[in-house]
Structure 1
Amino acid sequence: MTVVTREEFTEQRCRASDLVSTARRFTQTHYRLVVECADFADGPVWIADGATSAAHWLADRTDHCANTLREWIRIGRSLRGLRATAEAFEKGDLSFSKVRALTRFATSDNEAELLELAANVAAADIGTALAAWSVRNEPDDVIEARQHRQRHFTTRTDPDGTVCGSFRLPPLEGGKLSTAVNTKLMRNTAKRQADGTWPTVAQQKADALVGAVESGGGFLYEVVIHVTGDGCRLDDGTPLTASTVGRLIPQAFIRALIHDSNRRPIDATNRRRHPTPRQKRLVKARDKTCVDCGRLDLLEYDHVPPHEITGQTHTTELQLRCSPCHARRHQQSLSSTTPA
């Protein structure tokens, strides 16, 4: 951390405020951009010039990808029937990220409800929040048909020669893929690379994805589905329709996590040192991330207090910690008990 004087700190505080103001003005400019792109797409110029589409005409002249411009045109057209959303976007009160997600669901009938929902979640969580709203308010067949239509897989070559891609899958299939990769990751042993460094988690996941494909699916993994009073969801919170879960029953061995009225997983205990698969699922559902740093990967199950003291493995005495935090806690505990 850099030490600064009071005057320097005051100056940096002003810069931070200016940065927030600039971001707001950028949002307002983005509003005008998508609206004008939609207006242009409905006009005759790109047709007269013989362009494949309005997006391609704009891409050639603005140095943006046609897919990006196609999305701007879609959003601009959608805003014509969503007056309150358009006003919030125009004022800079609603970010482009939220507007992009909202315009896939919002109608004049549900706009007010969805705007309130968007105001109470972070931009990073808007997708999951809207998916949960959809499960509560739309018929299963409508949701599943939309998810089926929107599935895709694309790749491109980046300047460094690597292949970069994106995919969109229905939630259950996406959950299967994520679980398969994470299972493969946990079974692999990380090795020091040729340059002496250790691979990052993202690099290990890339290796795990390739390994899962090369193995032809010849290894077992478990997808946990949580069933609560307000619906079904995957372990990461992605909502599932009831009919999707229902179709799994004849094909799968079902593992149910039972939740109490406060949505807490019901306890389980034994006297073994290592937690059972059921106990792991309960603790994972309760803690979700490392209790110290919030990390989502390399998670382990830590006895608090230590198993040497209690002699039992109880879910109320287990905490989810990532490997570095787990090791650090035990090192601190060892240091505090070692005589000087």
Structure 2
Amino acid sequence: MFPSMTTERVESELVEMAGHLAAGTCRFLQLLAEFDERDGWAGPGMRTCAQWLNWRVGLSLRTARDHLRVAHALRALPATTAAFAAGRVSYSKVRALTRIATPATEDGLLTVALHGTTSQLESLVQATRAAVDPRPAHARRALHTSRAADGSLLVRLRVPAERGEELMAAIEALVAQQDAPPVEEQCRRGSGEPPGHRPDPERYPGDVPDPRAARRLDALLDLVAGAHVERPTALVVHVRADDPPADDPPDRRAAWIEGGPVVPRAVAERLTCTATVQALLTDRAGNPLYLGRTHRTASPRQLRALRVRDGGRCVFPGCTATRRLDAHHVRWWRRGGPTDLDNLALVCRHHHTLVHDHGYRMAPVPGGGFAFLRPDGVPIPRAGAPTAGTPDVLVTAGTAVGIDDRTLTPLWGGERLDRDHVLTWLLPARARERAA
């Protein structure tokens, strides 16, 4: 692609472009912080600015949240922002630095970032966070998930010591129980052969790098599958079958939950889409017309089909929610909409509320799918328009601030980072004692 360029020139332009990208990323984050401050993302029914970035710019939610955190942190760090805007520090360094930097410690950390490598800075940040974290173990408990390239779910747990011991004891006990051979086989073997040396090939098919770890996971999944979760008791919501006249008293125009409070009609109509609610229709005289869920809510078979058709996620543009989804009647059930797949769509609770309570609308599209409209009638596109750009803009802007192939290179001379020395001025004395 660049046959006329020497290798040295390719290297020089590569590093120089990295500096331009750093400067451009800084500008992007400054604009992002301002956009978020103005709630500019809220217009098309987005739940968060990160969701807007996912929809409009094409960032993953995890990357979008990270960008937002860094963007807002930079507002309090003018020296770091200036170095970032000049292309002197990379986004990776800024991301690490903003995790612990304060106006009081910014200059020292920026010196480390300018003179050291990203890995050195990250190790310093990790040591600092561990030393100054005052929260007890139970406050730091967490479960983080992500997806591997093959679709596997990666789970990272942080469990308080005593609960962790309980969890592992239960897992190890179940592993031992599953590994133990039947009583008849134990009798045949006698007491000289330890149980559990030959896993069941039907339960553990194929070779795994770490059989013990695999059996622990199987035991954990069995523990989870054995948990009993009670289903909530169905609510009964009273809804008028016809649209009451505007001159009816407010209590006649409203809907109400049996044994509970009066609720707005829009709320009642949203509730009637869910399987945990029974709808009691009444005529104008208050006579009950229908109580039941048989033909109102989606059947288990329909729900399975909906999940397949809608990809197991909310169909609202830009939404990535996959949990707590409702089967929404596009033409509302109270208004004669049938409980057919063509009239159903999976929506999360947030967007279900927008449709029923805040004037957002859905409409079927010929050929399949649904169109979405804001309350003012403006269509919401399924995805943001494609972005466009050219590196020439970055180069032109970067040249004005003097970015070249040496700007982003750290001033590190190869010496070992003395973390203890840095921590002496970075941490308060009490935190240094805890770290020791």
TM-score normalised by length of structure 2: 0.36
- Which structure has the greater CA radius of gyration? 2
